[in-house]
Amino acid sequence: MSWKKFSGEILHNPILKEVESTIEREYLQGNRLKVCIGTDSQVKGSVTDFATVIVFLREHRGGFMYINQERTSQKMTIKERMLSEVQKSIECAYAICPLLDLYHVDLEVHADINTSPSFKSNVALHEAMGYILGMGFVFKAKPEAFASSYCANKMVQ
């Protein structure tokens, strides 16, 4: 899995090592952190682009993110695509969770799913919420799910 910064700079270390050095650097600078993970996707013809982001929020001092992009030609229903987004976010959260626990960094998993039944993505809301909460993570959906709805969204447009 290849990760990069928003600037496009490729992260050469494994993501766990990058996350740990990031937390240590930010703490040395006196910053208190929270991490939000989200994934968004966009269908373009016969391909679907996915972007998963790890957003580091500095308390009262902005934030930054690391991005992983993937592409698939697998056909999916809207529900399958929404749950694939959630699965990618959970896999990322699960991988870095022990590190965040070690450094006492709060974690949220954001789903790009609308809570209003009038939107197509709502078809996956209950499954996504159960999946995320069942894994022991804090769940956020639109409009509070900025990691997926805004940050990851910028990377798949």
- Burial class (CB within 10 angstroms; exposed 0-12, middle 13-18, buried 19+) of 28: exposed
Rounded Cα–Cα distance for residues 51 and 84 (Å): 11
Overall pTM > 0.85: yes
Rounded Cα–Cα distance for residues 156 and 43 (Å): 9
Rounded Cα–Cα distance for residues 120 and 143 (Å): 15
pLDDT at 97 (0 to 100) = 96
Rounded Cα–Cα distance for residues 138 and 85 (Å): 16
Element (H, E) at 152: none
- Burial class (CB within 10 angstroms; exposed 0-12, middle 13-18, buried 19+) of 127: middle
Measured CA distances, 60 to 3, 18, 57 (Å):
26, 22, 8
Domain boundaries, the chain: 3-156
Is residue 143 reached through a cis peptide bond, with omega within 30 degrees of 0 on the bond before it?
yes
Q: Which residues pair with 64 in a beta bridge?
A: 56
Whether the CB-CB separation of 137 and 130 falls below 8 Å is answered with no
pLDDT at 132 (0 to 100) = 95
Run means of pLDDT, 10 residues per run, the chain, 157 residues? 92 96 96 97 96 97 96 95 97 97 97 92 93 95 94 91
Topology, domain 3-156 = Nucleotidyltransferase; domain 5 (3.30.420)
